Amino acid sequence: MTTQFPVSDGNATPESAPAVADPNKPLLEIRDLQISFTTGVGEVHAVRGANLTVYPGQNVAIVGESGSGKSTTAASIIDLLPGTGKVTGGSIMFDGRELVGAPRAETEALRGRAIGMVPQDPMSNLNPVWRIGTQVTEALKANGFKGSKAELRTRVADVLAEAGLPDAERRARQYPHEFSGGMRQRALIGIGLASRPQLLIADEPTSALDVTVQRQILDHLGDMTRDLGTAVLFITHDLGLAAERAEHLVVMFKGQVVESGPAQQILADPQHPYTKRLVASAPSLASRRIQTAHVSGQESAELHAHHLGEKPPASNEAVKVEHLTKVFQIRGARPGSSTDFTAVDDVSFTLGRGRTLALVGESGSGKSTAANMVLGLLEPTSGTVEFDGTDVSTLNPKQAFAFRRRIQPVFQNPYGSLDPMFSIYRSIEEPLKLHNVGSKKSREKRVRELLDMVSLPQSAMRRFPNELSGGQRQRIAIARALALKPEVVVLDEAVSALDVLVQAQILDLLDELQTDLGLSYLFITHDLAVVRQIADDVVVMQNGKVVEQATTDEVFDNPRQQYTRDLLEAIPGAHLVGNVAGG
């Protein structure tokens, strides 16, 4: 790995102060870039004719959904294309040098030194068996740091301190598992900027983090790169984040740049149909709840009764949770010893019939634990879950089995929630079979009906999950949840893993289904932007406790608690809403 960097030595760039380049000369200029991958079925053109310009010290964002070629474009700049990827045409000029077809030693010399990289996943991008300090040291050494051991140690502490890690010297001796996700990402940003590159590529730098942490980290990254005069190329799927952090946007779709230009202009006046859709469906920019077709609980209750063909329900409260508490015992250091951890602490809320209640909080706030107790998958330590007026814990096994039909979950990960060995047909039929609903024939009819309901072609039932996209799998998961005609659906981060356009489609679908079938949703999410689109009422949770509880409009227009305000502040692009509403 250690090269002698003949190229950068030849270039008159001083060791520690980059970005003295002419500010009006492009730092990075990509022209007509073509990238293709060789696969079993032939060539796949991942990037087709992309153009991109970055000036020194500027922030540019590439926006696009997964598979749009945005990461591939970024990877090609530092010649780190995965697998069989190859640049087949076009040019990448960096600081006046052509990178396409440059010898390996040359691109290797650029990496880290002139072009830094902040990877997407802080969990897997630090080596778990090395101390943080060692990993920073390695990065410094690989990029030609020359100095004594003591100097190196001070430099490592400086790098971490710059990245916003307090008590840096002690932190340097810790291992990655002792860091939280946000701290790891800070360390990675420190490593990326350690050698004072002219350009930093940040590939979804915060998509794995909580919104409030995301905001802190991006703010810090912004301050740092501004002070250092580093240009930043953001890769993101989040239009709001891109518009907030960059002045120039490049929108990619299916390997092509469909629109590029000043961020404000693109946001206010998108030209290309894809960009229009993207702007329209970006949750952080959308103004109000979708449709709001159900006017009152009364109306949907009637609908519901009709749908079930049964007597109208006993109460207008689908789920009522009172003083719910869950204590986990965490194994202590010595065998036999244990400490109590209260994951959910005295939580009460009510989900009205035909309404949507959002449980909002960051990771570790106890929202999923609460949901699992509502689903009956976890025993509460104390407190009650009432379903349609009946305390769930008093049910005998037979009644409990019947209760399962009336409340169904949809999970976050569309890749994990369907059994890969089951065809789509079997996946959707399984609940019907398990509860002995109908004959084989009528079950097949019902599966076809459900596929129609979630807007998938009936022929999809012959497929296996791996042949479908994330959005399609989530539709299947919804169809499976609806198979038994439940009254309540618990959506545990059900749209968090999806691209914005697909997310918007699924949210629309959920809303339609709610109107048609009178469903009640318990919507678990960390994303307040989505809450605004779908929920009627909001419960904000922090560290297992409910901190605020009100209707959606109240929470958004008049948040009472500081924590809620922080969450709202942290929505990327939240400030841009007013701007966009006109356009």
Partner 1 sequence: MPENRYEPVGRSATPTPAPRPGQEHFTAPADEGGLGAVDAVATDETPTSLWRDAWHQMRRRPLFWVSGTVIVIVVLVAAFPGLFTSIDPRACDLARALEGPQAGHPFGFDRQGCDIYSRTMYGARASVVVGVLATSMVVILGTTIGAIAGYYGKWFDTILSRITDIFFAIPLVLGAIVIMSIATNRTSFLVAFVLAVFGWTQIARITRGTVLSVKNNEFVTAAKSLGMGRGQILVRHVLPNSAAPIIVYATVALGQFIVAEATLSFLGIGLPPDVVSWGGDISAAQGAIRTDPEILLYPAGGLAVTVLGFMMMGDVVRDALDPKARKR
Rg (CA), the chain: 26
- Minimum CB separation of residue 273 from partner 1 in Å reads 5
DSSP 130-172: S-HHHHHHHHHHHTT--S-HHHHHHHHHHHHHHTT-SSHHHHH
Check residue 55 for interaction with partner 1 (CB under 8 A). Answer: yes
- Minimum CB separation of residue 219 from partner 1 in Å reads 8
Restricted to residues 161-220, the positions that interact with partner 1 (CB under 8 A) are 219
- Minimum CB separation of residue 394 from partner 1 in Å reads 17
Contact 55, 48 (CB under 8 A): no
Restricted to residues 425-444, the positions that interact with partner 1 (CB under 8 A) are 425-426, 430-431, 434-435
Query: DSSP H helical segments within 143-255, as ranges?
Result: 149-162, 168-172, 181-193, 211-228, 239-245
Kindly state the tokens that stand for 190: 């420190």
Check residue 502 for interaction with partner 1 (CB under 8 A). Answer: yes
Contact 538, 531 (CB under 8 A): yes
Nearer to partner 1, 348 or 423 (CB): 423
Restricted to residues 80-99, the positions that interact with partner 1 (CB under 8 A) are none
The only residue of 119, 144, 364, 376 in contact with partner 1, by rule CB under 8 A:
376
Nearer to partner 1, 195 or 230 (CB): 230
Contact 407, 399 (CB under 8 A): no
- Minimum CB separation of residue 399 from partner 1 in Å reads 11
The only residue of 17, 44, 80, 377 in contact with partner 1, by rule CB under 8 A:
377
Q: Which stretch in 14-22, 249-257, 302-310, 511-519 sits in contact with partner 1 by CB under 8 A?
A: 249-257
Distance of alpha carbon 425 from the chain centroid: 29
How far lies 257's CA from each of 75, 500, 503, in Å?
16, 18, 22
CB atoms within 10 A of CB 206: 26
CB atoms within 10 A of CB 260: 20
- Minimum CB separation of residue 243 from partner 1 in Å reads 6
- Minimum CB separation of residue 268 from partner 1 in Å reads 9
Kindly state the tokens that stand for 583: 């356009």
- Minimum CB separation of residue 425 from partner 1 in Å reads 6
Check residue 496 for interaction with partner 1 (CB under 8 A). Answer: no
Q: Residue count at the site for partner 1 (CB under 8 A)?
A: 95
Check residue 456 for interaction with partner 1 (CB under 8 A). Answer: yes
Q: How far separated are the first and last CA of the chain, in Å rounded?
A: 51
Restricted to residues 263-302, the positions that interact with partner 1 (CB under 8 A) are 263-267, 271-275, 277
Check residue 468 for interaction with partner 1 (CB under 8 A). Answer: yes
Nearer to partner 1, 88 or 423 (CB): 423
Check residue 247 for interaction with partner 1 (CB under 8 A). Answer: yes
- Minimum CB separation of residue 51 from partner 1 in Å reads 7
User: Directed axis angle between helix 149-162 and helix 181-193, to 10°?
Assistant: 120
CA 199/CA 29 separation, integer angstroms: 12
Check residue 409 for interaction with partner 1 (CB under 8 A). Answer: yes
